[in-house]
Structure 1
Amino acid sequence: QNLPGRNFAIIVDEAHSSQSGETAKSLKEVLQVESPEEAEQLEGESEQSTDEDLVNQSMAARGRQPNLSFFAFTATPKQKTLELFGVPQPDGTFAPFHLYTMRQAIEEGFILDVLQNYTTFETYFNLLKTAADDPRVEKSKAVSQLKRYVNIHRFTIARKAEVMVEHFWANVRHQIPNDNGEGQAKAMVVTPSRLHAVLYKQAFDAYLKKQGYSVKALVAFSGTVSYHGLDYTEAQMNGFPESQTAKQFEKPEYRFLIVAEKFQTGFDQPLLHTMYVDKKLAGVHAVQTLSRLNRIHPRKNETMVLDFVNSVEDIQRAFAPYYEATILSQATDPNKLYDLQDELEAFGLYTPEQVAEIAELYLRKGEKAARLQPLLRVVVDKYKYIADMEERIRFKHRLRSYVNAYAFLSQVMTFQDPELERLYLFGRLLLRALPAETQRERLAVQDLVDLESYRIQQTYSGAINIPQGQGQLDPLSDLESGGLTDPEKAALSQIIQEINER
């Protein structure tokens, strides 16, 4: 239908996500026409346009449009959010147009302070090398895999599950009483992977049954997890379709929700009182995850967090930029796009002529677009011939950095260089066509080591205080060029000794 007038106010919720790239461009294009007839007319005109005209039109459509006003809301602005929607200041920083801070919302009683009752734990363990061989392996990968081996060990999961359940039974279950004085408080267990979620669900079910506790646990994760020859899904483990998980969690018998990514953002359950964290959290993700607890309830006076992974300092760093005002220290330097462009061309996988041909064919909606795949395959085949896997990974990483940076910067400023637009269009298509890389070295730690001892020790309990004053974010950091260093190698026995001594 026809739209009266050409000026639009666009209200954006959760503005820290999904406000750059092709979706934002498509929205702007739709709001430039008054009627379907005008859209058809413009499409007909584009078919007569030159390749250069199409690239320039695509480039112009990304920038600021005089008939569009954006009103963006977020509690956790990222660098891109502030540069895109913030107000430029005389000193070169970017500040929000208007503020209602987390601290003010807490003081006025609209949300709860999730940092007032925070307990951290440290884990201590000893690994024992059981194999006769003592291979030299990449140190960083080995340390990561050995720690994962400990964290995924059934004894580790069972011990933490016991601590969580007993804490809940003693300190949480009577919280948020109903009219009959019965506690309604619920808890969320935040796990680092889908397999962890599966193992925690099994451990919780076993321990709750063993102790005879009259509460149940639900699990939430996407897809299917295969482990020791068996497949697990959320629906199979819970006993009902995953679309019903949130609704079932409202029932009084379900007091634990074990999650892997799902329900860590946007989940609104006022009875959620306590969180058990077994996952590394940082930045916006930490704030969003812990904020699942901040919903108010007439009989909810506090929250609790038991954190088995993060330190007090980790959480302070995560919350500091968002507790009061958040500013961006300076604008992103657009010249770094040219550095990335040069770095990508140095790989020698494509020519400027190939980039132009593929980008312009993409802009030509119609039969010519069918020629894209053979042209992309030529570049993909060259990519496959790079012998060094690390070089292939570096190319893909730099290409993704360019695509993400251009998608954002082209909304902040209007570029006059069609080569940048062509490389962006080409890069998006190429990223989809490039094959996934498999890791070169996989150390089967479960065949080489065993868990000799394991214990958990409380390291802190109390409030985490955030210093007063505005927080500051730095501009995008993913635009720097740079090579890779050779990985350090060491004997497995030496690595195990260093881990045990920490």
Structure 2
Amino acid sequence: MTSIEKIQLDRVCEELERVGWERLEVGELEGVVRGDVFREKIKELNKAEFERHGEDKILPQIFSALESADEVKILDYLRYGITIFIRQWNAMIPVTIKLVDFENPDKNSFHYVREQSFTFANLVIRPDITLFINGIPIVVIEGKSPVLPETEPYLEGLNQIMRYQKENPELFKFVQFGISTDGYRYPYIPTLPRREITTPRDFSFWKKDKKEDIFYLLAPRHLIDYIGYFIFFIRDKKGERKKILARYMQYYAAKRVMDRISKYLSKEDEKRNGLIWHWQGSGKTYLMFLIGNLFLHRYQERNPLVFMVIDRLELQEQLTDAMKSIENKRLGDVRVVERIEELKEIIKNADREWGLKIVTIQKFQPKEIELKKTVKKREVLFLIDEAHRSQYGDLAATMRKIFQNAMFIGFTGTPVFRKYRNTFSHFAYPPEEPYLDVYFIQDSQRDGFTLPLIYRLIEERYVDVLLSERDIRDIIDNYEEDEELTEKVILGEISDIKTKLRKNINKQIIFLSGEKRIRRVIEYIRSCIDQDTENFRFKAMIVATNRKACVIYKRILDEFYPEEFSEVVMSYQANERDNEIHSFKQRIAKKYDPDWSKANSMIKEKFIKEENPKVLIVTDMLLTGFDAPILKVMYLDKVLHYHRLLQAIARVNRPYNELEKTCGLIVDSVGLFKHLQKTINIYNYLARENTEEIRRDLKNAFKDSKENLEVLSKNISSIRAKLKELYDMDIDWIKDNLRSDPEVIPYIKEKVGLISLLFGRDDNATKLIAIIKDTLNIYRGLGADPNKLDYKDDIEVLSIIYQEFWRKIKGEVKRKLRKELWDAIIDWIHKSMIVGDMEEKFRKEISPTVMTKPAVYDILSTDFYNIHSIVRERLANPLYKEIFDRLERLKKEWITRNIGVEEFLKELKELDKTVKGYMRIEQEEPWKRVTEFTKVYLKDKAGIEIDLKPMEHQLRTIFTRRRLLDVDRKRLNLEIAKLLVKTQIPYKERLKLEREIMNLIEEEVRKGLWITS
């Protein structure tokens, strides 16, 4: 431990003592508990039981239970005590021994110990600080020096806590979470016995009044409360156990709801509604569970009844899966109310009913349910998801009329407040209380639970696909008049009505779903989707105007991409009147499942878990409640309004830490940006309630490309000035001479060396690197926006500076990293930023006889990843796939040091030469490229050379027609067979080669059609 770390930990101990913890010296353990404290406290908390039955009958059973329990059972023991059995007369009497007193927190002991040793399988670990409640280890704290230069210092502490969980699984059955600190920040992370050490990702920062304050959570009363109700385990879809810790906004919202419930049930206050306004992606589903669980436990003696209400079957499935994944035996079975008759039975027996029910609002049919039968019971809690929808008509009125004394808590990320649809009026008490709790866009983005959204309008040359302002206004006006009817008309679910509404929007529907227009939109999407998705590191969604448009989008996309590239998720009618939709429905039924709901679920699962589909086409489904972190880009080709617009675009705001997702991207091909601003302005109701901050959040949350370009420009100007002022580094000189002056690279290395030495010690250097990183992320987040290219030269220089900086830092901190190939950051920089001459310059610099060994490692690894990134993007071509496999083998040989520098370089140069040859072929006319690749493949694979002129005419025809037909495939296959039959290749090998060549040709033909169309 360094002196700096000791000082930081001393401060932590001072804060712990301030909030109520006492220091305890290192002592002997019984298992992992402090036996001396533990024995004393449980005797004190269970005095009557110990006096009646004696210590000898109780303690052995307690220690035995603790030793055999897993982490779920341990948490249960902490909350509810351990039930043991003691023989009395001729019977075994159950006796519950309390480990922690939750009703009287002050009766517990709260100790912290510095560097307490814990041993498991002869391996000793010593957390810097361990917190014990009644001698039971509950929290561990690791401190790290704030001047670690390579990364955020607290991340090293989190990594150490992750190692501890594997090294001593017995301890982490008891420890509920770990905290790392550099003296400034205190991230906390769930802990449990782990089989593998993984990168810490699910850490959070506790806040109080919008300021980080972990010691608020660690205050004994708060920690007792948190352990009691705000930690739970789930089983994910793979069956793996995970621990969930409530986030601070969930904790405070749940406490406010319980305060409302407590006052209502004690008749201290008659308010029984509440609105929880939390932005999309902030964890509303688990918040609903936390509140329901708290309510059921606190009022268990009064038969509490909880309804979770949703308005869509797809949301019912999601909510049910989420609730059933929670390991909470005392909650009882989660019951889904499938039929109206079941609901009527619950209403009939409401006084005796208890537990958690999931029900759709559609079950509350006024014609089906006897309205005269009302429930007087007060201990009924309705938790209503998406409270801005379906809560304004007869169904909601029926629900409230029957349960006239129940409590109603609404959850939404996008409240509505129009004349007849006002979420605030239905769930809150305006004007004095517009909501019970709010956690809005800026809060969520600041905490990293959701990402910023970047907005881009389709390029000017595609202006013909945009709706006029008047057409958009007509559709929105109809939405305001009758939202449900308008949506059904647009989706094509109502096709035979002759209403004024239909006439008003029919022209716009025809325009938006027209095949010629959709082809134009797809042309634009094809031109930018690679950049927008970062070469499909992420995925995309197309929002079409209606179901017919979805099918057209799919049909046209299939002309340019493999069928598995995209899929449609939408609803179907029993008797589809449109022939194309009917045919598509049959196709989906054959491919997936006749039940379209199951088919859609299968497609969603594939989108999230598998490589394909890369694009989902939707119109209404998945615009709410669909969480897919890999989804980054939404191509918005439908008029959406108000809350529907905000909900839809929030589909792309989920973080994806594994791939360093930095933003969501909205690409508008309709022309909705002005109405996005109007959507924001409808929240002026809250402006009168001194909530100016929320209005500001709404305005700041959705930045179009112009705003991000402005930020980019300002950042670059600021960086240029700081580099010149502080380090005498001239960005303009570097730009002008980068490709011509050999002194540029040494100049950069010299200046960056100074910055790296000061990083972590000087605020200017630290802040400079942070703003460079942010600037690179902004540039990357702009996707295919052509205006960003104005800054390409600046970004290229900043990329080199940032790359060189991390080389220096990594070299100072861990020299051994130079023995391995550079990883994702070099890959990203060279794939996205450094191009052309710069790559060639690095290649020319490779000369082991001239350079020092560390420099050789840097150049070799950089050169390797340049080639690797080119090949990886072309794996559909078997020639590139072979190169890729050779690169991977070469990488393995290099890392394991089975080959030296010269051998690595020789092989790398050969591969580089081959790749360059392939790339020259790619520049040929499409038909010629196909024949050339086929020739190369035949020569490499079979060692034969064949004249492919007989195929050229047919290939020219395909590219002229711009479509590959089945008859083309048959003719090409026949020509290949004719050519190969002249060779001496054995029959079976010849058939295999025919298939391989045909696959190659088909892939290159598809690619050629995509490039030339």
Q: TM-score, normalising length from structure 2?
A: 0.25
Structure (1 or 2) with the greater helix fraction: 2
Q: Which has the higher contact order (CA 8 A, sep 6+)?
A: 1
Structure (1 or 2) with the greater strand fraction: 1
Larger Rg: 2
Q: TM-score, normalising length from structure 1?
A: 0.48
